[in-house]
Copies of this chain bind each other. A is one copy, B any other.
Amino acid sequence: MQITGSLEAIADAALERDEIAWDFVEGVTTEVGPRQAGTEAETRGRVWAVEWLTKHGFQNVADEPFEMDTWVPGDIAKAHVTGPFPQELVVQPLGNSAATPDGGLEAEVVFFRTVAELRAAPAGSLKGKIAYISHEMRRAQDGSHYGFAGPARWVAPGFASQRGAVAVVIKSVGTDYHRNPHTGGTSWGDESSPIPAGALSVPDAENLERMFERAGDRPITMKLEMNPRRIGKQTSGNVVGEIVGRNPDLPPVLLACHLDSWWNAPGAFDDGAGCGIIAAAALNVAASGQPLRTIRVLFAGAEEVGLFGSTAYSKAHIDEPIAVGLESDFGADRIWRFESNFRESNPDLHAKLASSVARFGVANSRIVASGGADLNIVRDQKGAIIDLQQDGTRYFDLHHTPDDTLDKIDKAQLRQNVAVWTQVAGILANEERAIKTGRAIPSAPATMGE
């Protein structure tokens, strides 16, 4: 049952009760599950999302398909230390990994503590070897250690390939100690050929490192077997829906998330929760009275595998101006900081928005918002962006793993997200003036998907 009242009253009420965001994330994780882009599971996810948006009263609901090159993980992923301490390690392929030969490959493992150490290795020095790359990622509220450790996944496999390695395994880019590796995209770039590339769980990676300490002069050998493959062009799509405004000719407010997840992850935190939050906020704003501007929700497809949905959406709609864009794609924990890219160019609106969410424990910030992965269209239009920064302390415990399940969502924190989004989206959707952005917008963060 939707509460009615003023925007402020509805936002306050969202703190105490939410039936929409939770229903979305419970529904998509229970009735769809993992939904990797380009697979039938993502298709089921889009059908499910279209039905859900329609049932909840969104207008102009559509599934906008696009084609994309598709990689799938296969069904074999084994890493066996063959000597001197034989045992299985838990491994999963990284996105865009090549396959091993049938039956696997066995080679000596060479240990690199950092990507920098790997880069310092001479050309050809890894010929016939498996490179193992570590890092020292720690939990951080702002998630900034993803940028610190992420290169071990994003680019190190390519560096290993360039130096002749037959395969590469990395310490998962994650902060938990469970035996569920963190997958994610890898960029081979133009200078390296894909080789088999896998992520070990953090406990397995640390076990491998202890083996190096204990092995003395004995080489560590590993047999690796994985069978991912490319399956050519497949269809993905962006799902959209609208709360149509009183003046549909005004540029809309764009609320974005992504619907896809990696094959191994049910995608509760990443990013079922985000889609639930933005949809709940849009419906809450509508319940406070039809807004001036249209609010459009964009459930992007194929974010994880390379931001294909964001790119396709921008290409298709670049000539349709967006008033302001916001994305929720960092879990479901509490929002703690408000950022925009118009604090200097439109200080009144920035201040009004920031002060409107202070009661929810959200601080103002001078950081210039750059937007999430699915806001390409707004960046391409050099438009206005707001980042409602969530607490990312737990995010990389779960990111791209099987542990990204519904039970990880704290209902109280989810509701705080919905309250903040309701408040902000409601003000923006009733803003009469265009938002000027007076300075260059930083480019999107250089991450391989979120």
Contact = CB atoms under 8 A, between A and B. Distances in A.
Contacts of A380: none
A349 interface: no
A26 B88 CA distance: 16
B214 A30 contact: yes
Contact of A405 (B32, B85, B179, B408): B179
A193 B135 CA distance: 50
A319 interface: no
Contacts of A86: 33, 44
Interface string A193-210: 000000000110011001
B87 A26 contact: no
- Count the copies: 2
Contacts of A402: 90, 179
B29 A406 contact: no
Contact of A85 (B32, B87, B88): B32
Contacts of A41: 87
A207 B406 contact: yes
Interface core residue of A29, A30, A85, A402 (most chain B CB under 10 Å): A30
Contacts of A202: 407
Contacts of A27: 214
A27 B156 CA distance: 30
A403 B178 contact: yes
Interface string A18-33: 0000000011011111
Contact of A178 (B84, B88, B180): B180
A177 interface: yes
Contacts of A13: none
Interface residues of A, number: 35
Interface core residue of A86, A87, A202, A408 (most chain B CB under 10 Å): A87
A211 interface: yes
A407 B203 contact: yes
Nearest to A48: B85
Contacts of A179: 180, 401-403, 405
Given A178-B178, A180-B178, A180-B179, A31 B405 contact: no
Contacts of A203: 403, 405-407
A214 B402 CA distance: 22
A407 B179 CA distance: 11
21 contacts: A27-B214, A30-B207, A31-B85, A32-B85, A33-B86, A33-B87, A33-B88, A33-B207, A34-B88, A44-B86, A90-B402, A177-B405, A178-B178, A178-B403, A179-B180, A179-B402, A180-B180, A203-B405, A203-B407, A207-B405, A210-B406
Interface of A: 26-27, 29-34, 41, 44, 84-88, 90, 177-180, 202-203, 206-207, 210-211, 214, 266, 401-403, 405-408
Closest 8 CB pairs of A and B: A33-B87, A179-B402, A203-B405, A30-B210, A31-B85, A177-B407, A178-B178, A178-B403
